[in-house]
């Protein structure tokens, strides 16, 4: 039996065997090392009636493995004396023959046993307690403790490896999530910028078109007046020199009654201006049509804009 006393707190613990002692001391050493604390212990090997057979002072955490620290500790045995009883009352005793003391050698102690030979009719009882081979037992204990220590270290390494793997996996997932969020944010920002730029461009075009509206409307009204004049020569100034639209002829037999501006749009640098034109025909009928004129800006032209396609006439009621 072994008794462990914490010399700092005077707390005591009892271990029934050496294996239990080694395991407990190892756990306390690991505990002290993990917390950065120092424990001072006194370990006592107790015999019968709590007799101290051996003692050892320790400071935890240990600087070496527990088996080396406790090498040779805990194997001392109490010395025991052996005797015998002679029974011969009521009978004549015969001369006793004494046998020289024999030495029984064990692994750690020599036990002296004295035997007395009595007569054939007087029995004698001798009890001899034989010890098991301590060396073999110690070797088994060391092997078992070493195996337990190795198993514990392997298990601890596995746990640490799993913890590291989990930590790495978590870091990888967080990094991947952050990368995805960054990409998503970048795409969203780019789309918003594109959309905003498109709106800005559209607004700029609208503003630019509105700025052009006054002048293009004047040019359109002037073209309509010449278009319904019946004189095709008046339209030449609205064409470019190499224009194929010179063949456009003015309307005859129609007299413009009113010209109302309706809309203005621009596609591929071509400005489409639409008017609602009311004319008086030769038969005295009133006719209302929608007339769309495609103009394009050209420097050096008479009015600053030239007609680039045929005038498009459609029914106003359609």
Give the model's pLDDT for residue 246: 62
Give the model's pLDDT for residue 247: 66
pTM above 0.85, yes or no: no
Give the model's pLDDT for residue 178: 93
Give the model's pLDDT for residue 236: 85
Residue with tokens 């470019």: 240
Burial of residue 28 (CB within 10 Å: 0-12, 13-18, 19+) is buried
Q: pLDDT tens digits, the chain, 318 residues: what are they? A: 899 999 989 999 999 898 899 999 999 999 998 988 898 999 998 888 788 888 989 899 888 888 888 888 888 776 665 544 444 444 444 444 444 444 433 444 433 434 443 444 444 443 444 445 556 666 777 877 877 888 888 888 888 888 888 888 889 899 999 999 999 999 999 999 888 888 887 777 777 777 778 888 999 999 999 999 888 888 888 887 766 666 678 888 888 999 999 999 988 889 999 999 999 988 888 999 999 999 988 888 888 899 888 889 998 876
Query: Please, what CATH class does the domain formed by 214-315 belong to?
Result: alpha beta
**Whole-number Å distance between alpha carbons of 250 and 258:** 17
* Domain ranges in the chain with CATH number 3.10.450.540: 214-315
Give the model's pLDDT for residue 145: 81
């Amino acid at each position: 039996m072994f008794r462990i006393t914490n010399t700092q707190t005077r707390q005591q613990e009892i271990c029934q065997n050496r294996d239990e002692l080694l395991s407990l001391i190892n756990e306390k050493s690991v505990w002290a090392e993990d917390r950065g604390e120092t424990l001072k212990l006194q370990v006592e090997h107790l015999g019968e009636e709590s007799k101290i057979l051996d003692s050892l002072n320790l400071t935890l955490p240990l600087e070496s493995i527990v088996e080396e620290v406790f090498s040779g500790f805990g194997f001392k045995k109490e010395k025991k004396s052996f005797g015998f009883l002679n029974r011969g009352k009521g009978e004549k005793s015969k001369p006793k023959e004494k046998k020289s003391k024999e030495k029984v050698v064990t692994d750690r102690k020599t036990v002296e046993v004295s035997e007395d030979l009595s007569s054939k009719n007087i029995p004698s009882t001798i009890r001899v307690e034989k010890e098991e081979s301590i060396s073999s037992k110690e070797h088994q204990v060391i092997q078992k403790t070493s195996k337990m220590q190795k198993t514990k270290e392997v298990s601890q390494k596995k746990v640490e490896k799993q913890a590291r793997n989990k930590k790495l996996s978590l870091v990888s997932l967080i990094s991947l999530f952050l990368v995805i969020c960054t990409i998503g944010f970048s795409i969203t920002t780019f789309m918003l910028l594109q959309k905003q730029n498109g709106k800005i461009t559209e607004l700029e075009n609208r503003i630019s078109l509105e700025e052009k509206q006054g002048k293009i409307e004047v040019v359109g009204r002037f073209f309509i007046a010449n278009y319904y004049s019946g004189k095709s020569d008046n339209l030449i100034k609205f064409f470019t020199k190499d224009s194929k639209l010179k063949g456009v002829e003015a309307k005859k037999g129609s007299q413009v009654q009113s010209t109302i501006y309706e809309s203005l749009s621009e596609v591929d640098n071509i400005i489409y201006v639409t008017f609602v034109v009311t004319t008086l025909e030769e038969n005295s009928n009133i006719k209302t049509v929608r007339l769309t004129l495609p103009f394009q800006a050209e420097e050096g032209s008479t009015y600053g804009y030239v007609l680039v396609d045929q005038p498009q006439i459609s029914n106003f009621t359609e």
